[in-house]
Structure 1
Amino acid sequence: MAEYAGVSQKTVSNVINQYEHVSDKTRRAVQEAIDALGYRVNLAGRHLRQGRTGMIALVVPELDVAYFSELAAHVVAAAEQRSHTVLIHQTGGRRDRETSALHGFDADFVDGVIISPLALLPDDLRAADRGLPVVLLGERDTTEARDHVGIDNVAAAREATAHLLAGGHRRIAVVGGRLDPASGTDRLRTQGYRQALEAAGLPFDPDLVVPVDAFHWLDGARAAAALADRGAVPDALLCLNDHLALGAIRALHERGFKTPDDVAVCGFDDIEAGRFSIPSLTTVAPDKAALARAALELLLMRVSSGSAVPLPPVEERCVAHRLVVRESTAGC
């Protein structure tokens, strides 16, 4: 191939390995040779020569929750651009399956793990395989020496609640919220909700915090139905994911309440279903592509450096989010 392109074998290697210091003219010549000769890079051989597998694991609670399936698609796309394969592992939110992932599934077939945990305890992270690079998504104990990528959940919930308040709503229930001090996305979003109420000079009513067993369609429907059936329907719902929001809208509709005329509804995550629902769903949209890129970049940095346990300070990356206003809060 080098002879065909009129360059050295070293130059061919530099182009294939995407080194920066190669001229565009040389890069085009090598690419034309690759195309003409039908050359294919042996990625497995390359990774093995580097002492790696070229495979990373993405560990999520549930793939049938659209946020995680959409996020997984972004991780796979980002990994393909870096010549890596993604093994997707579903835990069901089970602690034993999450801890197994932290130990590389008791096998040496992944170079690192990106994990969005639900059940892990701080002790699990301390006892994890320290030789395996791990990047955490979502929320975590801030004392643990692991890289982390997420959005500012407090600010996002505060902005969403302020949007509902600006529309004249005063009795806003937070579906999926939590009052206990345990860490987690639901607690942080509840905190942002309370901050918005305080900024507006409104009292906090703990009866408007509606916990759920899980963050599925049915749980949102049950929460809204319970509010309606006890005659306590608020004038707006802040639902802590889009599945809860869409389930709530359905339950309200079945009981004769119109969204947004009677009850405005806002969700979180900007899943595709919310763009096509009737009414379309106002939601907080995290930049899922940026989440995927940042998590992969951090992980591969640790893999390439051979440093699974980062030296302090731990990398903490906050990815952008935005409030997408649609029909379910029209007029807000």
Structure 2
Amino acid sequence: MSVSLKDVAEHAGVSIKTVSNVVNNYRHVTPAMRTKVQHAIDELGYRPNLTARHLRKGRTGIIALAVPELGNPYFAELAGAVIDAAAEHDYTVLLDHTSGRREQEILVSQGFRARVIDGLILSPIELEPEDLLGRDHDAPLVLLGEREYGLPYDHIAIDNVAAARAAVRHLLDLGRSRIAFLGARTDRVNEPSHLRVDGWRAELTAAGLPAPDALVAATGGWDHADG
């Protein structure tokens, strides 16, 4: 049979509230009392009922992470980092695979799983800003990636101009002077590749080197085959 808070409290000779305070890591518990209760927890093998805890707080205890492809080493590493961080807060991560398709990214962002998640982390490829305007549920959304959306959602990205300049500077420091840019995209305006080309050109210009358009190669995407 499972061990309850009451069992731990009786074993430690304290109140159920005290055990709850220790389990929930409340600050106002003396070190001696925390040690006493933790000893009882370890002896009885008590495990918190996370489902019940989240229900009491009006949460599911699940967040979703939607990425274009799990086979890509970058997204695999990202998923691992998110899972590790979520575990520190007793959250489970639901992984979703969009294949970088706009219709799938819209489906995910519009919350087709909103009832079972407490929030969504989305790394879109084809999603357009207007696709998020009709979002009608309150599950928090965090966007990843370098596209510019200009919408009131948390968005984690890098400084693409500075990153491109740093890459060019590295090659210049190695003695290279004819540096091509591979991966430009001309089909959309809000592409990070535009910013990266700007950084490439700015660093070459600052070094007194030409940055001809002939050295800019466009690709249809950024996966292995495109490279």
1:161 partnered with 2:168: yes
Query: Quick one: which of 139, 155, 165 aligns to 1:148?
Result: 155
Shift of 1:130: 4.1
Shift of 1:175: 1.3
- 1:90 is matched with which residue? 97
Q: Write the distance in 2 (CA, Å) between the matches of 1:79 and 1:134.
A: 15
Query: Quick one: which of 12, 18, 22 aligns to 1:11?
Result: 18
CA 1:207–1:126 in 2, change beyond 3 Å: closer, same or farther?
A: same
Kindly indicate whether structure 1 or structure 2 has the higher relative contact order, using CA contacts under 8 Å at least 6 residues apart. 1
Q: Report Cα offsets for 1:149-201 as digits up to 9, x if no partner.
A: 22222212111111111222111111112456622332222222122112112
- 2:86 is matched with which residue? 79
TM-score, scaled relative to structure 1: 0.62
Q: Write the distance in 2 (CA, Å) between the matches of 1:3 and 1:192.
A: 66
Q: Report Cα offsets for 1:229-280 as digits up to 9, x if no partner.
A: xxxxxxxxxxxxxxxxxxxxxxxxxxxxxxxxxxxxxxxxxxxxxxxxxxxx
Alignment of 1:118-267 (within 5 A): 118-178=125-185, 182-220=189-227
CA 1:56–1:77 in 2, change beyond 3 Å: closer, same or farther?
A: same
1:115 partnered with 2:122: yes
Aligned partner letter, 2:109: L
Q: Write the distance in 2 (CA, Å) between the matches of 1:9 and 1:141.
A: 51
Asked if the contact 1:115/1:137 (under 8 Å) is kept, the reply is: yes
Q: State the structure with more CA Rg.
A: 2
1:35 partnered with 2:42: yes
SS of the residue 1:113 aligns to: strand
- 2:70 is matched with which residue? 63
CA 1:26–1:154 in 2, change beyond 3 Å: closer, same or farther?
A: farther
- Unaligned 5+ runs, structure 2: 1-7
Asked if the contact 2:63/2:93 (under 8 Å) is kept, the reply is: yes
TM-score, scaled relative to structure 2: 0.89
Asked if the contact 1:180/1:187 (under 8 Å) is kept, the reply is: no
Asked if the contact 2:111/2:137 (under 8 Å) is kept, the reply is: no
Q: Write the distance in 2 (CA, Å) between the matches of 1:203 and 1:180.
A: 25
Q: Write the distance in 2 (CA, Å) between the matches of 1:210 and 1:76.
A: 36
SS of the residue 2:104 aligns to: helix
Runs of 4+ in 1 over 3 A off after TM superposition: 178-181
Q: Report Cα offsets for 1:59-98 as digits up to 9, x if no partner.
A: 1011111100110011011111110110100101111111
1:53 partnered with 2:60: yes
- Unaligned 5+ runs, structure 1: 221-332
Query: Quick one: which of 105, 109, 112 aligns to 1:102?
Result: 109
CA RMSD in angstroms, aligned pairs only: 1.8
